[in-house]
Amino acid sequence: MKKTVITLLLLIITINRVYSDPFQTGNIEFIGKNYQEAEKNYLQDIKTNGESYNTLYNLGNLYIEDKQLGKAFYYLQLAKLIDSRDKNLNLLIESVEKELNITKGKVPMLLLSPRENQIVTLVLILLIASVIFTINLLKYLKIEDGFTKKIRQNLLLTLLILLLFSTVGNIYNWTRLAHDGIVLNREEVKISPYQDSESGFTVTEGSKIKWGESFNGFTYITLDKNNFGWIENKNLGKLWIK
């Protein structure tokens, strides 16, 4: 009897943990093809825990199944900012690009994704701080010989050079992506940021744009040198990982 009660309690605790985790709940709803509930839970997971590769990847797949290809393209691109080397992800992005009839531009091959480069920069800073601390501690204790001092100095120099490259990579990623965006839904681009404004042209879902200032629930976008205007914020996805 006691074993049965304990087993039931453990089962209840396990079920409660699963359903209190929005990511796991989203997976369950996705498998059951309850796409609206799955979407709500995945977005809640991002809001609570920040962008993670698995959540973004699953959201992209969800929108593919739900025929919302603009949103699918956006979230898969966000996932790529975290892990750019996943072959399955890249194949999925290519298939969505074909569906949306997007011409694939020339994309620079990067050794690390923006998120990975940020992590490397942080690790290098911590390593440099620890090496400097060790050098000063040994100097204070007067137990450092010339050979070990030279090794530590060379190590510090190497780490500083790597940090320089990593910082340049972060600056490059920021300037490349800081104002990139993707149109989530087919939208009439207005000539001014008001609901009753005239439309200048129509932008299709999945279109890559540059975004600028925001006002009155609208954001100014540039598709190319001849096409620019304002779209509602809800139809714009900004490409940057926090």
Hey, how many other C-beta atoms are within 10 angstroms of the C-beta on 231?
A: 23
Six-digit token string for 132:
């400097």
For position 241, what pLDDT does the model report?
62
Q: Domain 2-100 in CATH: superfamily?
A: Tetratricopeptide repeat domain (1.25.40.10)
Q: Check: CATH 2.30.30.40 for 180-238?
A: yes
| Stronger pLDDT, 16 or 127, i.e. the higher one | 127
The residues pairing with 180 across neighbouring beta strands, listed in sequence order, are 210
Mean pLDDT within 104-133: 77
Q: Tell me whether domains 2-100 and 180-238 share a fold.
A: no
Q: Which of 86-90, 126-130, 170-174, 210-214 has the lowest mean pLDDT?
A: 170-174
Instruction: Look at the block and give the residue holding tokens 């199944």.
Output: 65
**In the chain, what is the greatest distance between 2 CA atoms, to the nearest angstrom?**
77
pLDDT over threshold 70, residue 238: yes
Give the DSSP H or E segment for 227.
strand 227-232
Mean pLDDT within 69-81: 93
Domain edges within the chain: 2-100, 114-177, 180-238
59: closest CA among 49, 69, 109?
69
Six-digit token string for 196:
């009753």
Confidence grade of residue 152 (pLDDT, cut at 50, 70, 90): confident
d(CA 82, CA 241): 8
pLDDT over threshold 80, residue 197: yes
Mean pLDDT within 4-10: 41
